[in-house]
Chain A
Amino acid sequence: MSNLKTVFNNHKAFIPFVVANDPDFDTTVQNVLALANNGADIVELGIPFSDPVADGPVIQDADLRAFAAGVTPDKIFDIVAEIRKQSDVPLIFLTYLNIVFKYGYDAFCKKCQTLGISGLVIPDMPYEERDELAPFADKYGIDLVPLVTPTSGHRIEKIAKAATGFIYVVSSLGITGTRDSFSQNLNELIADIRKYTAVPTAIGFGIHTPEQAYEMAEIADGAIIGSAIVDLVAKHGQDAPKYLGQYAKEIRTALDNQAQQAV
């Protein structure tokens, strides 16, 4: 088990996402540092997969840019090593199971431990299939962050009970991408999860404005923002770090206001 859970202590967590190696090695390092230095609590790094079935067009395009710049898992480990020289911000990977499977579960988790990666989010590894990876994650102290969605229903109990780190609550059906509205029953969903676990929750999928982040932080312990940030990287390329820093500040302020409201 990692230190992820402690990030949420008396604090609404901001969890931004970038695709590793989009648009290149150096910009990714600078993007992560800009996010970390401007209020991100955990940075989620996407390892591109050729067929990202849970992702919308914005992240798919980012994957293509990362591939064009020659991304491989080993290159991403080098990116993390570079980040680690300058920051100890908690990091998690988001990727698809085949990438981890092909690298080897033991070798991948071991590498994560060496680089100080705290957790893995794997959208195509539901509760039923986690057993094959879990022993290795446990061995190296890596959290397997599960997803709970508005369709999870009776599955919430077993997912919540097995969760460590935090729980990624999917705001709405479908794929990643910015949205203007979310599932109506997010309050109930979070309440349901809290019946079974004290592990923190963070809501993701579709959040893009500080107002939405504020709204989500009212319901959950943190907000995950992906496509909106990836969009900034697409727009600004190598100049993205500056814009990401600015954006992170706005989100941080919104979340801190929410935390104050709550007190």
Chain B
Amino acid sequence: MKNMVEKEKLGRYGKFGGQYIPETLMNELEIIAAEYHKLKDDPAFQKELKDLLVNYANRPSLLYYAENMTKDLGGAKIYLKREDLNHTGAHKINNVIGQALVAKHLGKKRLIAETGAGQHGVATATIAALMGLECEVFMGKEDTERQKLNVYRMELLGAKVHAVTSGSMVLKDAVNATMQEWASRVDDTFYILGSAVGPYPFPEMVHDFQSVISKEAKVQLQAQEHTLPDMVVACVGGGSNAIGTFADFIDDPSVQLVGVEAAGKGVDTNETAATIERGSIGVFHGMKSMFLQDKNGQIDKVYSISAGLDYPGVGPEHAALADAGRAQYVGITDDESVQAFEYIAKTEGIIAAVESCHAIAYVEKIAPTMSKDQIIICTLSGRGDKDVASIAKYKGVSIDE
């Protein structure tokens, strides 16, 4: 299996990946890649990283046996990898700590980041505060409105939040704006890319820093069940928590890998963000990958209730895993994810991010079709406090905050 997605040349995953980025940034990408590869094998860096993950971010995260869900669904045993319990409330912190350390080693004074739901922006603002670095976050204007709480959180942490008004004013536009800002000030600034997307070496760094999710889960499940899971499930926007959830299981062919995309109003409608199911191969945001685009190569407007999955592309490693048939990608609609949001709250007493609830909704469908001796690990990528107001609105309940 490994050969199927092995990198043929620098930053390639099969026919996907690469560095399709303006020349202004190429030298910087070379510098980052060289520094990262030096640090990756440096025990002192690994120690520094581990120290922050354990003592600041609250790792390892729990692998929680969801007994109520398991009984209720009546099929496979369900374990939840609780990234929602990390400091800042999502998996995003894993990658941010790693990249911020790389930035620090490069002598950078300023961090910039894009954010969709705000979780990556909050994580970046948090680390910037901890490390005494300047921080500016770019967020689509529409997302600043549906995730007001996270905007305030970032500001509280000392970051400056820019509401991006170009394009469809969501995550892809925030990435455009952050890349533009980086191109104009590259000397002292590090772009902390939050998803498994972009030019090499970003997808590789995100993969490596998020792989802590599956490395821990593998050991934790071994301790509890003395076996590998039969299936791992995670939601996919750009694909950072999913690649982290898959990473350590890619070479275990018995483990089925499932990425859950946001189907919005439905995979067959035009209001969707189901990139792998509906997209085609293209070049955008520094990578060759799968994108939702028209026949002329113009990137489509995408839609999902979830600001974190509202992205027209997907990381190149996911495109390669799908192409090789190693991972399956399925769509879950807004309605199904909102139902799952309520389901996991009532069944397990967990308010999970609406992004993660896409994965939960799939587990609700698939678990009953599996046998009781099978095991699913589903990653809860984040907590859902940020979504409570908008879910209430979706359900027609007015909350006066």
Contacts and interface: CB of A to CB of B under 8 A. Distances in A.
Interface string A111-152: 000000000000111111100000000000000001111011
A124 B167 contact: no
Interface stretch (B15-23, B36-44, B95-103): B15-23
Given A97-B283, A98-B284, A102-B297, A125 B20 contact: yes
A147 B27 CA distance: 13
A53 interface: yes
Contact of A175 (B10, B26, B183, B291): B183
Interface string A83-99: 00000000000001111
Interface in A39-76: 49-51, 53-54, 60, 72-73
Contact of B186 (A72, A101, A151): A151
Nearest to A56: B180
A173 interface: yes
A98 B18 contact: no
B19 A128 contact: yes
Contacts of A98: 282-284, 291, 293, 297, 299
A149 B284 CA distance: 21
Contacts of B185: 173-174
Given A124-B22, A129-B18, A51 B299 contact: yes
B298 A155 contact: no
Contact of B23 (A96, A103, A147): A147
Chain B: interface size category: 35 or more
Contacts of A153: 27
Interface in A158-179: 159, 170, 173-175
Contacts of A159: 23
Contacts, number: 106
B19 A152 contact: no
A126 B282 contact: no
B297 A53 contact: no
B112 to A, nearest CB: 13
Interface string B13-54: 000001111111111101000000000000000000000000
B2 interface: no
B22 A54 contact: yes
Given A102-B282, A124-B283, A73 B296 contact: yes
Contact of A101 (B10, B30, B297, B299): B297
A210 B232 CA distance: 63
B170 to A, nearest CB: 12
Nearest to A151: B27
B122 to A, nearest CB: 25
Contacts of B256: none
Nearest to A67: B298
Interface string B174-215: 001001100111100000000000000000000000000000
Contact of A155 (B27, B166, B172, B286): B27
A53 B23 CA distance: 12
B183 A126 contact: no
A60 B167 CA distance: 9
A151 B296 CA distance: 32
A72 B183 CA distance: 28
Interface string B280-319: 0011111000010101111100000000000000000000
Given A53-B179, A124-B283, A128-B10, A173 B24 contact: yes
Nearest to B26: A126
Contacts of B172: 51
Contacts of A73: 296
Given A50-B167, A101-B297, A126 B20 contact: yes
A175 B184 contact: yes
Nearest to B185: A173
Given A98-B293, A151-B186, A173-B185, A50 B298 contact: yes
Contacts of A127: 23, 26
A60 B28 CA distance: 25
A112 to B, nearest CB: 16
B184 A99 contact: no
Ordered nearest first, which 10 A-B pairs have the shortest CB separation? Answer: A174-B184, A102-B297, A50-B298, A98-B297, A147-B23, A149-B24, A50-B299, A98-B283, A97-B283, A99-B297
14 contacts: A51-B173, A53-B285, A54-B22, A60-B166, A72-B296, A101-B283, A128-B10, A128-B18, A129-B19, A146-B23, A149-B22, A152-B23, A174-B180, A174-B183
Interface of A: 49-51, 53-54, 60, 72-73, 96-99, 101-103, 123-129, 146-149, 151-155, 159, 170, 173-175
Given A99-B297, A174-B185, 15 more contacts: A51-B176, A53-B180, A98-B283, A98-B284, A98-B299, A101-B297, A123-B22, A126-B19, A126-B22, A149-B22, A151-B25, A151-B27, A155-B23, A155-B26, A175-B183
